[in-house]
Amino acid sequence: MELDDLEALAEALIESLAAARAAVRERVFVALRLAAAAFFTPLETLFLRVFCDTACAWTATPLFDVAQDS
């Protein structure tokens, strides 16, 4: 093998390793994004339920006006 062949082989190896590293990095970010979504979705639902229930409990007027005719 000549020196030019070895240089071309080394370049191809470096390019393939860079592509593999980019693919792994992309998969890690996707996994982190999915984990964050799985964590924050129930937390958001819980926060909104507690916040809305508390806000509704503080109002003096009822949400539904039920009139009883006597």
Residue-wise pLDDT tens digits, 12-34? 999 999 999 999 988 989 999 99
For the chain, where are the alpha helices, taking DSSP H only?
Answer: 3-58
pLDDT tens, position by position, 30-54 = 999 999 999 998 888 888 888 777 7
CA distance 59 to 66: 16
- Evaluate if pTM is beyond 0.75: no
The answer to whether 56 and 63 are in contact (CB under 8 A) is yes
Question: What is the spatial distance between Cα 3 and Cα 42, in angstroms, rounded to a whole number?
Answer: 60
Contacting residues for 56 by C-beta, under 8 A, at least 6 apart:
63
